[in-house]
């Protein structure tokens, strides 16, 4: 067919060429010299050689198009070993151990408040004072009685050391002094409860009770004190991940409300499984560099429960299933850089994550798999790879 085309085209060319050059050729035949005739013949031969070369080029290109019809056209990917990580996703919330409501330990009128909302305070700093109901006056009287008892005891002790006086007088003076001293210490302890102190460094997040109100221990919250420098995220994890999640497990935390995401790790794992929901709690540290985090802020936590190094990983979308529900895909046996044949591979799959799946059996590192066009490929069919994509 190709040769017939070539002869037809060549004959057409000669006819056209002769037609175009007939007059000049006749003139040369009738009156031209031998040199002119040879020159004319050489020119015609040169044109024929150029035409033949063009025809061969066209035939080769046409042959390529004809050959493509014998192959299924696909895209493929050469597998490379990669680290595969699987994460579970749970919901958590930001919290801190230093977030407390401060209650009074003394009943009475809230006499003075020394701090304002938003103010930073130091551990042990005075925050408020409750009216002591006259206990400070009582303490002053008791202090005077204590000094008198002390003087009597010291005098009696000197006499006793000189063997003057009776032992009973010495013991009575000693006992009286010890009793009044104990009473003074108890009164001081009671009065200290009328002053409210900061239990740790932090910020007064809220002043709950106004000055002048009557407060009672365990019933009237006065302040909310918190420290945001020791924040962390807590999350509940289903019990079937016991053994997969441990201290040091990689975690990815996302606070969508403040558009913050960071990598961290699990710093604590609960030893107890809650009976009501079959979960255990984990704690994930929040770096100091993450700002705007507040207690009870909702977080999405991804925990790395599985890692496989140098794994064989393929896109999930190239998987196919047979009638028995078994997964398979097509690898390629390449003849050259672009031509090969499809080889059906039954697969044993591992975990799936973000559109990828680990292949435990059925493919090897550096195998070439079909990524596009697999729906039309049959086992053993010849294919042509139009494009290789990166793994």
Burial of residue 253 (CB within 10 Å: 0-12, 13-18, 19+) is buried
Which tens digits make up the pLDDT trace of 53-103?
Answer: 888 787 677 666 655 557 889 999 999 999 999 999 999 999 998 889 999
> Within this chain, do residues 79 and 21 fall inside the same structural domain, yes or no?
no
User: Residue 139 region, left (φ>0) first, then alpha (ψ -120 to 50), else beta?
Assistant: alpha
Give the domain CATH number at 209: 2.40.50.100
> Within this chain, do residues 109 and 180 fall inside the same structural domain, yes or no?
yes
**Cα(137)–Cα(381) distance, integer angstroms:** 104
Specify the pLDDT at position 11: 45
What does the pLDDT average to over 287-308?
A: 92
Specify the pLDDT at position 342: 93
Domain boundary among the residues 308, 335, 360 is at 308
Specify the pLDDT at position 122: 95
pLDDT band at 369 (very low <50, low <70, confident <90, very high): very high
Specify the pLDDT at position 49: 85
Specify the pLDDT at position 138: 87
Specify the pLDDT at position 64: 63
**Cα(85)–Cα(356) distance, integer angstroms:** 10
Specify the pLDDT at position 62: 63
**Cα(233)–Cα(260) distance, integer angstroms:** 13
Specify the pLDDT at position 280: 97
Question: What would the two tokens of residue 109 be?
Answer: 């009128």
Which tens digits make up the pLDDT trace of 228-273?
Answer: 888 999 999 999 999 899 999 999 999 999 999 999 999 999 999 9
- Percent of the chain scoring above 90 in pLDDT: 55
- pTM across the whole model: 0.63
Specify the pLDDT at position 37: 77
Q: Taking 70 as the threshold, does the pLDDT of residue 2 lie above it?
A: no
Residue pair 364/342 in contact (Cβ under 8 Å)? The answer is no
> Within this chain, do residues 147 and 233 fall inside the same structural domain, yes or no?
no
> Within this chain, do residues 352 and 289 fall inside the same structural domain, yes or no?
no
Which tens digits make up the pLDDT trace of 176-198?
Answer: 999 999 989 988 888 889 999 99
> Within this chain, do residues 57 and 80 fall inside the same structural domain, yes or no?
no
Q: Taking 50 as the threshold, does the pLDDT of residue 109 lie above it?
A: yes
Give the domain CATH number at 377: 2.40.420.20
Specify the pLDDT at position 6: 41
pLDDT band at 4 (very low <50, low <70, confident <90, very high): very low
Q: Taking 60 as the threshold, does the pLDDT of residue 25 lie above it?
A: yes
Q: What is the domain range of residue 376?
A: 72-84+311-389
Facing residues of 33 across strands?
Answer: none
What does pLDDT average to over the chain? Answer: 87
Residue pair 362/345 in contact (Cβ under 8 Å)? The answer is yes
Specify the pLDDT at position 111: 92
Specify the pLDDT at position 63: 60
Give the count of domains, the chain: 4
> Within this chain, do residues 126 and 235 fall inside the same structural domain, yes or no?
no
> Within this chain, do residues 244 and 217 fall inside the same structural domain, yes or no?
no
């Amino acid at each position: 067919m190709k040769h017939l085309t070539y002869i037809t085209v060549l004959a057409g060319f000669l006819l056209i060429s002769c037609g175009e050059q007939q007059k000049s050729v006749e003139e040369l035949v009738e009156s031209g010299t031998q040199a002119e005739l040879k020159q004319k013949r050489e020119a015609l031969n040169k044109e024929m050689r150029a035409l033949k070369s063009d025809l061969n080029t066209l035939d080769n290109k046409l042959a390529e198009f004809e050959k493509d019809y014998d192959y299924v056209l696909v895209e493929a990917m050469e597998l490379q070993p990669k680290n595969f990580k699987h994460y579970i996703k749970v919901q958590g919330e930001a919290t801190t151990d230093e977030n407390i409501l401060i209650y009074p330990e003394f009943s009475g009128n809230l006499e003075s408040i020394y701090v304002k909302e938003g103010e930073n305070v130091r551990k042990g700093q005075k925050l408020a004072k409750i009216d002591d109901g006259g206990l400070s006056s009582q303490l002053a009287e008791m202090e005077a009685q204590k000094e008198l008892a002390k003087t009597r005891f010291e005098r009696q002790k000197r006499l006793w050391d000189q063997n003057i006086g009776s032992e009973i007088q010495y013991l009575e003076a000693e006992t009286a002094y010890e009793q009044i001293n104990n009473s003074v210490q108890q009164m001081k302890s009671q009065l200290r409860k009328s002053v409210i102190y900061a239990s740790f460094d932090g910020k007064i997040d809220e002043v709950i009770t106004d000055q002048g109100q009557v407060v009672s221990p365990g019933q009237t919250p006065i302040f909310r004190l918190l420290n945001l420098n020791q924040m962390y995220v807590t999350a509940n994890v289903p019990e079937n991940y016991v053994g997969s999640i441990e201290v040091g497990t990689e975690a990815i935390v996302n606070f969508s409300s403040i558009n913050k995401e960071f990598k961290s790790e699990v710093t604590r794992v609960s030893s107890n499984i809650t009976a009501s929901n079959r979960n255990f709690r984990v704690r994930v540290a929040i770096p100091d560099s993450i700002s705007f985090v507040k207690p009870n802020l909702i977080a999405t936590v991804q925990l790395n429960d599985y890692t496989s190094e140098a794994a064989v990983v393929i896109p999930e979308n190239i998987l196919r299933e047979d009638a028995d529900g078994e997964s398979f895909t097509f690898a390629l046996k390449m003849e050259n850089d672009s031509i090969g044949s499809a080889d059906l591979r039954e697969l044993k799959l591992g975990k799936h994550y973000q559109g990828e799946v680990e292949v435990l059996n059925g493919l090897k590192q550096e195998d070439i798999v079909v990524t596009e066009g697999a729906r039309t490929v049959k086992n053993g069919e010849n294919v042509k790879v139009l494009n290789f994509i990166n793994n």
